[in-house]
Chains A and B, each alone.
Chain A
Amino acid sequence: MRDEAVTITNQTESSLRIVGFLCNWCSYGGADTAGVCRFRQPPLLRIIRIPCTGRMDPMFVVKALIQGVDGVLVSGCHPKDCHYAVGNFYARRRLELVGRFLPFIGIDPRRFRYTWVSASEGQRWQQVVTEFSALIAALGPNPGFSAHVR
């Protein structure tokens, strides 16, 4: 069922998809600020709100990319500004590790990015999304691992 739904979505809207994992306290607010300020943004991003970047399991990144998502963007509070004090410090290590691991399994590391955006940085959020979307558009669709024909 789910796979069918994904296929139908892909057929009806052939555009690229970026999954954004945004921390509830900073980047989600930053994206909201950008929206409230009516900053123009590319429409590729789909946002998933997480309580803190410390919630990021590297598996989220890998599973999304294996299933054929075109890009994964993780954004949280600036280091030392974490709502839970140290969540983004843990996240930084995990995300850096998974980012360096991706090319080893044949996934373009440029499809994954992590960044820090605070709730007031609507302008910066617009800039991050625009740059990343342009990069993903240039890279084109990600075939994922499901498209492999036996």
Chain B
Amino acid sequence: MNTLQSIVASVWDQVDMVLGWQPGYDPLHPVPAFVRDPKDIASLIWNPLCAPNLSVYLAKSFKAPTRGEKKIGILAKGCDSRSLTALIQEGLVDRNRLLIIGLPCPGTVDPDALTSVRTQSGPITDVSFADGMVQLTATDGVERVPLDQVLARRCQRCRHPHPVLYDVLLEEVVPRPVPKDPFAHVKALENQPLEARKAFWLRELERCLRCYACRNACPLCVCQDQCLAESRTPKWVTQKDTVADKFLFHMIHTLHLAGRCTECGECERVCPMKIPIGLLKEKTAHIAMDLWGYESGTDPAAQPPLLSYDASVNGL
């Protein structure tokens, strides 16, 4: 039986470092781990609470090769592996630098949903997962909740729970079945009249703090030092807190990800104001699929549609 630890230990001689998750400040929030010392391998964990997309660190912090020729090991769920593939497609990360440990994913848990469905009130001391159930151990007893009930929105619509790109696969978990209509949330909004859609976005984006957490958590938002949102020349958004400025910031993020977004949902997960900004990117992904039959992050050799063109007179 291969466990996560045994797999990491078996590839340790090929890597300088492994990116994974370790227990965080409470049982509901595992945090990213950068394992550089083999004795820390034991601290790595993998469960449906390991939500952070680790590929965000690659283009931003580990672009250039470090000491020697060794690789960077990275744990990747289905969505994470799509982000990695997109980074490789655009030449932002070198495939040969990566050793990808694929994790078939049962879906990740939204800690807020979990908190709202539990009936106990005591602090949670332990969380475990078995047979599609989440078992919560709190100071006032044990409770079991179905995993399906507490899945994050991004996981309810996940098309690739099984990693699309990996070197080693951890065959421990059964991946979540693919839903019938991954774009159901987008379509639900589209079915409303134009005015209602505008009112929806004004209401939602009114809350935006412009903390840029969505941008920082995005694995494909790679030009952070030169981000248009903070540039003064050209000056796209002002320092005012009007909804128009907030809207413009989100348009920058969305349009720069058009045809690139792998729908990992990190922008939405990290939003402190719970704004469903993932919908904006899902819509662009939906358009790219409609127009060019393109699904970002599924083929390392594919060219993103907005970086290429159709040279016929009436084509697109």
Q: Which A residues contact B (CB, under 8 angstroms)?
A: 58-59, 62-63, 66-67, 78-80, 86, 89-90, 92-94, 96-98, 100-101, 103-108, 144-146, 148, 150
Contact = CB atoms under 8 A, between A and B. Distances in A.
Given A97-B284, A103-B197, A145 B309 contact: no
A67 B199 CA distance: 16
B291 A97 contact: yes
B194 A96 contact: no
B284 A101 contact: yes
B34 interface: no
Contacts, number: 103
A92 B291 CA distance: 12
28 contacts: A59-B236, A59-B251, A59-B252, A59-B255, A62-B248, A63-B236, A63-B251, A66-B244, A66-B248, A78-B313, A80-B313, A89-B309, A92-B316, A93-B305, A100-B287, A101-B284, A103-B190, A103-B197, A104-B186, A105-B197, A105-B201, A105-B280, A106-B201, A107-B194, A145-B244, A146-B242, A148-B243, A150-B243
Contacts of A59: 228, 236, 248, 251-252, 255
A104 B197 contact: yes
B200 interface: yes
Contact of B195 (A62, A67, A90, A106): A106
A93 B308 CA distance: 9
A94 B307 CA distance: 10
A114 to B, nearest CB: 12
A117 to B, nearest CB: 15
Contacts of A98: 255, 258
Contact of B248 (A63, A100, A148): A63
Contact of B287 (A97, A108, A144): A97
Contacts of B273: none
B42 interface: no
B238 to A, nearest CB: 9
Interface residues of B, number: 42
A62 B244 CA distance: 11
Contacts of A63: 236, 248, 251
B189 A80 contact: no
Given A104-B186, A105-B198, A145-B202, 4 more contacts: A63-B236, A90-B309, A100-B291, A105-B251
Nearest to A67: B244
A58 B309 contact: no
A148 B194 contact: no
Contacts of B313: 78-80
Interface string B280-299: 10011001101100000000
B1 interface: no
B107 interface: no
Which of A58, A92, A97 gathers the greatest number of chain B CB atoms within 10 Å? A97
